[in-house]
Structure 1
């Protein structure tokens, strides 16, 4: 498409602003806490500087322990702090592990070779530097379903309450140290806050004021009074009989709500646990070292105890570091699984063919699960959505640079809904589906197809108006929250740098297909309400040839084909080192996250989740890492 002079000026402004932003962010975020050569021994070694690893390192360093964090990637690029540009990092050789699944038998029909790309952050901050920033705490039934002592809904409610520094509309005293701070609240503003405070963006004189710690993940609340598309979404939910909540509430009943995203609303920057935990700790504690561009290949043993790590440094040289107390694996589901198996912790049928001595016969790599999303484009005839032309307007860049506001200061995620069904006794089921409102009318074909491995022909049948830079619309994302399909991750070479085999076995359980269809139907029902009719909302059903010529929710065959063709990863792999009680044969770690039968080793990341929570798990992992650090400090 040929740009007009106004759009050309916008491109010029974008380039100039980005250069200025790069200089500013580099100055603002420069930190001198990184090292090039580690000591020979530390008290603790944290493998992986992702969401959980950053929390662990900060808390352990505060206990006056000597801590090494070792990360395979380097520092994140300056543009990773701009919330809206997350997809740019996906597929990057430098910042993404670029994993991919094996060809899927029952899913991924729109993808080349039926293979899903699995972006995973390879940098300090991990996937928290490239995710879509959604804050969710799950529901009570999530944790009760785990059946793990010490991780039930009551315990997790206490832990997650302790992560909320200010809660709008709920009078709730602080139970523990806060790790989440709502957008606009200064670090002196803390719960309890009066319930009648509405749309507050600054500390209220009615609020009690206490010091919030610097280790607080900041949340940006999307304001429906400023977002007509979000308002339509919430009004539609209410019209369809759903409850509407201002906050991510602790309930199994389901709710429509404005999204809360991990963004510093004052500066307009991504706010990961690198920002909230690791960065301040590196400035404060000389006993905390961070070693980057160093890949852990295996664990070092002394009989049944792990005493250190082997790693490849930036120059490819094999080196070792010892830990006097514990090794903590927080490398993410895929890399943690790979390191465990390469070190002899795993099932014999995986390790024996590779001549890897078995140190612990545990089901590492099994129970792999992931959320799947089905995105559908909804066209609008009202100018209420974000698109490329609006993003390139010089005012957007000025607003972002000067005020930290505007489109660039958002993730595009505006609304969230959890869905339930009524059981025979009239009570609601646990949440089964989630709807996400992604405010973006212009879907870039090159970016989307490259990061998701989508065939170009399939993409254009999916998003036929993607070539229009001024297109109005949004993407309605439907997610089955508790998939029953289970896959595996297995190393297939003794070479630790060889990617493992990843098979999520997507949609191998028919429940997942119907669950996705039911969620899509709930989303489409919203479009028939007055609030969306007023915007001229019209869903585009993808015209995939293999799905037949009759599209829509009335055609069950088409809907099944749609799900099996168009479902994409939500980037939430989990479960391959699941936790459980001591007699659980499927458990890899115990309730305190210690690897069973092995001394000196814990796992603290998404791989220990027995079952995915009802939503993106990032905030749950922050709470889990906080608890894990307490376990460790209390022991030693």
Structure 2
């Protein structure tokens, strides 16, 4: 990376990085105690008021908010290790934490209706196994979803979760740095979650995109505002060039400093929720130390009030099943006594995505490999946390409602069918595609990173299919809690999904093909050259249908496996208060409770779920009300200690 630099310059850059590491470690990294050192009587106890399972995006929020009440003792258990400096770069291509030991590295079963271009037709399902969970390994992008998503939740039986009822919790969480957005009244500036404009908005590709969007009346200043539709600049969770994960937001040293009632334990993989079979009350959890040093042994901690399961859309259903909560036939298969019959692990939903490169004849468009490896850029980032390495390379999200489809499926005109990311580079090394996306090696040269593209200026479009009818399952491999679950998303098993996705893909691609602004720079699609699609007209709906069936893969947005709904609804696992139906003292709070997948990335909604869950728990157990958003006061600009 530093080839050609004098040794003195290399040492200087190293010293600057050392200063950044020191600051991050002392001010931003969430402190925890390793499970191997967790001994009752040594500053900890074996009994707590609340136990939160999973220090992921939602779990961090819940534990932190509960700890604001000093009379309660809270234990937060995380299976993974502490965060690492290497994954704090907003430009994740520099040190991509996905598909590393910080990732659960889930894989699906071979897909019947999609994924022929993937290794073994299997999708990778990335999920953070680290303090902060997926917020510590994602692309830092902040998208709430569409307001109609939450109205749909409410109509599906999730009383109290419509848009007007969840908006205060989004606002409560936010520390948004954009003054213009704050004026709308739809954003907050005193919450723990720092949100800032992506620093790459002044680049040439952004200028082109937003010029073209305005020409087509498709520009949107805020995709988290009044309307989600159109192309909008991205906002990210970052601070001075550091990732601002949920762990940093809610558990950094300044947050824990005065909270001796909160114990955060890493390397503790929960294996079972302990439930009294007579009273059907959750009384504690068993966990295994997984630090690679401590000899394997089960440990038990008990909860006086509640256990909150925030282990994610894959591990939350897995833990419920291991604890005897789920379908009878699934539990009998593994000789697990059933406590309550619920559709745990059903209703798995996820977004599917495909990428396509556009090359141009203008060298100002997109980051080149030279720019991505430029020592000067490394030095700039090390010096003051700015430059290319402080940016997410996703410069914009576009959301598109397709009127023709709306007339057929009844989709409201404000609800998008398709989301697309616009990525500020055409460069993606083939080995990364194999590792991070599980593409088959023979697929890679036919896809969007052939050798010719690596030398050209350009960008990537990445259309996501937002509202699939296809749903899948999460089930147990066996009764061993250390075994990964069996994940079957059943992607594209409903034919309508293929048709909608193909039509949406064409809408997005045609925007760039037909735009006078992009024609000016010679933007040209590099259509995938899959043999299965060779006989079809490139750029037609039939062609895109073939492409999405062959190369479509998970966007890592799984939800729905512990579905929220009415108590009398046989599809429901938790009620609108997130209580597991039929079990006392147990709630689920994470992406698994979503009845229907939202229109966008799932990080921001998971933060909102945590805020609302904590509020409901507090109201259950205390006469004091935590209230809703109160964002009056001076906006915090730089000092992390000022963030609420």
TM-score (norm: length of structure 2): 0.87
Give me the whole-angstrom Cα distance separating, in 2, the residues matched to 1:572 and 1:253.
Answer: 18
Going from structure 1 to structure 2, the CA distance change for 1:262 and 1:157 (only over 3 Å counts) comes to same
State how 1:354-373 maps to structure 2 within 5 Å: 354-373=334-353
CA contact (8 A) 2:563 2:571 kept: yes
Give me the whole-angstrom Cα distance separating, in 1, the residues matched to 2:451 and 2:12.
Answer: 26
The answer for the alignment partner of 2:180 in structure 1 is 169
Q: Aligned pair 1:517/2:498, yes or no?
A: no
Q: Give a deviation string over 1:353-375, Cα, whole Å, max 9, x none.
A: 11101111100000001011111
The answer for the alignment partner of 2:386 in structure 1 is 405
CA contact (8 A) 1:258 1:414 kept: yes
Tell me the CA shift for residue 270 of structure 1.
0.8
The answer for the alignment partner of 1:187 in structure 2 is none
Look up the SS of the partner of 2:180 in the other structure.
coil
Q: Root-mean-square deviation (CA), in Å?
A: 2.5
Give me the whole-angstrom Cα distance separating, in 2, the residues matched to 1:525 and 1:165.
Answer: 37
Q: Aligned pair 1:533/2:513, yes or no?
A: no
State how 1:155-234 maps to structure 2 within 5 Å: 155-166=165-176, 168-170=179-181, 172=183, 181=189, 212-213=190-191, 215-222=192-199, 224=201, 226-234=202-210
CA contact (8 A) 2:77 2:265 kept: yes
Give me the whole-angstrom Cα distance separating, in 1, the residues matched to 2:11 and 2:452.
Answer: 22
Give me the whole-angstrom Cα distance separating, in 2, the residues matched to 1:317 and 1:40.
Answer: 15
Q: Give a deviation string over 1:243-299, Cα, whole Å, max 9, x none.
A: x121224445612111111122xx111111111111133233111111111110001
Q: Aligned pair 1:428/2:413, yes or no?
A: yes
Q: Give a deviation string over 1:415-437, Cα, whole Å, max 9, x none.
A: 11111133559972521111110
CA contact (8 A) 2:13 2:382 kept: yes
Tell me the CA shift for residue 511 of structure 1.
2.1
CA contact (8 A) 1:7 1:392 kept: no
> Please, which moves more after superposition, 288-297 or 274-283?
274-283
Give me the whole-angstrom Cα distance separating, in 2, the residues matched to 1:41 and 1:469.
Answer: 57
> Please, which moves more after superposition, 455-464 or 18-27?
18-27
The answer for the alignment partner of 2:222 in structure 1 is 247
CA contact (8 A) 1:217 1:272 kept: no
CA contact (8 A) 2:274 2:282 kept: yes
Going from structure 1 to structure 2, the CA distance change for 1:139 and 1:123 (only over 3 Å counts) comes to same
Q: Aligned pair 1:615/2:614, yes or no?
A: no
Going from structure 1 to structure 2, the CA distance change for 1:320 and 1:466 (only over 3 Å counts) comes to farther
Task: Please point out which of 453, 457, 463 is paired with 1:472.
Answer: 457
The answer for the alignment partner of 1:90 in structure 2 is 98
Q: Aligned pair 1:294/2:276, yes or no?
A: no
The answer for the alignment partner of 2:579 in structure 1 is 594
Count of residue pairs the alignment pairs up:
592
CA contact (8 A) 1:98 1:120 kept: yes
Going from structure 1 to structure 2, the CA distance change for 1:245 and 1:450 (only over 3 Å counts) comes to same
The answer for the alignment partner of 1:548 in structure 2 is 534
Tell me the CA shift for residue 34 of structure 1.
2.5
Look up the SS of the partner of 1:474 in the other structure.
strand
Q: Aligned pair 1:635/2:628, yes or no?
A: no
Going from structure 1 to structure 2, the CA distance change for 1:626 and 1:467 (only over 3 Å counts) comes to same
Task: Please point out which of 221, 230, 249 is paired with 1:276.
Answer: 249
Which ranges of structure 2 fall in alignment gaps of 5 or more residues? Answer: 39-43, 622-644
CA contact (8 A) 2:273 2:282 kept: yes
CA contact (8 A) 1:45 1:67 kept: yes
Q: Give a deviation string over 1:546-572, Cα, whole Å, max 9, x none.
A: 112445222x43221101011121101
Look up the SS of the partner of 2:610 in the other structure.
helix
Look up the SS of the partner of 2:307 in the other structure.
strand
Tell me the CA shift for residue 98 of structure 1.
1.1
The answer for the alignment partner of 2:33 in structure 1 is 34
The answer for the alignment partner of 1:377 in structure 2 is 357
Look up the SS of the partner of 2:91 in the other structure.
helix
Look up the SS of the partner of 1:145 in the other structure.
helix
Going from structure 1 to structure 2, the CA distance change for 1:134 and 1:28 (only over 3 Å counts) comes to closer
Give me the whole-angstrom Cα distance separating, in 2, the residues matched to 1:13 and 1:518.
Answer: 52
Give me the whole-angstrom Cα distance separating, in 2, the residues matched to 1:298 and 1:83.
Answer: 35
Give me the whole-angstrom Cα distance separating, in 2, the residues matched to 1:328 and 1:464.
Answer: 43
CA contact (8 A) 2:193 2:244 kept: no
State how 1:467-506 maps to structure 2 within 5 Å: 470-506=455-491
Give me the whole-angstrom Cα distance separating, in 1, the residues matched to 2:7 and 2:234.
Answer: 30
Give me the whole-angstrom Cα distance separating, in 1, the residues matched to 2:10 and 2:433.
Answer: 21
